[in-house]
Structure 1
Amino acid sequence: MAVRQRADARRNYARILAVAEEEVAAHGAAASLEQIARVAGVGSATVRRHFPTRYALLEAVSRKRIEALAERARVLAARDDSRAALLEWLGEVVTYCISVRGLAAVLTDDGGPGPAPENACSTALEEAAGPLLRRAVRDGAVAADVGVGDLIALAVGVVLATEHQPDHAARAHRLFRLAVEGLSPLPRPLPR
């Protein structure tokens, strides 16, 4: 009988997670846990048993996307231009956070009141970006005092600052470019 319950629990978990992915895509980090339970055909207590906090649910929903960003960082680490590779990856973090409602919240949320638990999503991104940043610093393309956490906070902050604006994706990418390129105009080509 215990094996049967574990199989049911696994099915419930998978069903809840699938519904949660759809609900978060539609409603962002504020997706209703009760609605998720209803659509998944389980009780609210079952959802809370698998995901004791909203943060735990958002983290589970974001896991595949975070893994994809980590893999992308590994691919970009082989590029010759270390600064371009780092900025391309950070641009992809911005794009993911824009397109996957709730991901920015997962990357900034500490899980709720009390001592901050480890943020597995942020930790995974920081570990993935570490080699990109270290190489860019070593090449002199990025200041030595810049940390991966700073860069993730910048990318996520831009997304959170623009998420309720019209054409928020274009605005977020523009602000991100301003942040990494600075406010000075590009140097003009020398006359021939």
Structure 2
Amino acid sequence: MSKPSTHPRLTPQFCFNQTALRDFLRISRGTIDDSITQNLNALLTPAHQGFDPSSTRTRQLVTPDHGRSLQPEQCAGFKEKVLFPSWAVRSDVLDYCADVATSPDPDDPDSVIRQIEDVKARERTVDERLDPYSGRYFPQEARTESLAMLMRNERAVEKIIRMRTWSVLGERCGMSSEPADQAFDKWRATQRR
């Protein structure tokens, strides 16, 4: 069985290092959610009966369903020990970095440069008859704004990945129609006690 994602050390520097942040999310999603079918297949026990050579005589277009469904306790164990803990780690990272993105950033190394550029743009003489592009000024965005945009995108990706994982889990485990976010929230509430 796969292991849940490990919790990275959460610091503002981790969030502002978008390469490290994206790599963490990509690896965590790849080991659990993107390979959900393989993870669930690993829970299946080998056949109780021996190999039957006559089974290879004809091509079977439809796979028998009895080998694809998992026992409820196997599914519950996978959700409790691997899936939900990984989701919790990623949720913690996304929440923390979203908080960093909405907080003031006194350590922004480019803030002085942006302030100088803003002053120069205000002092500049604009004559659009001579140069129609002279009025254009595109201020560099702060790293908190860039991080906030990344967090919005990553939350949307996370939502899609969780829906897909939950649907595969539902097909293989015959679970109820409870939405993924409700099941995760219930699990999270039991972990906080």
Q: TM-score, normalised by structure 2?
A: 0.40
Greater relative contact order structure (CA < 8 Å, 6+ sep): 2
Choose 1 or 2 for highest CA Rg. Answer: 2
Q: TM-score, normalised by structure 1?
A: 0.40
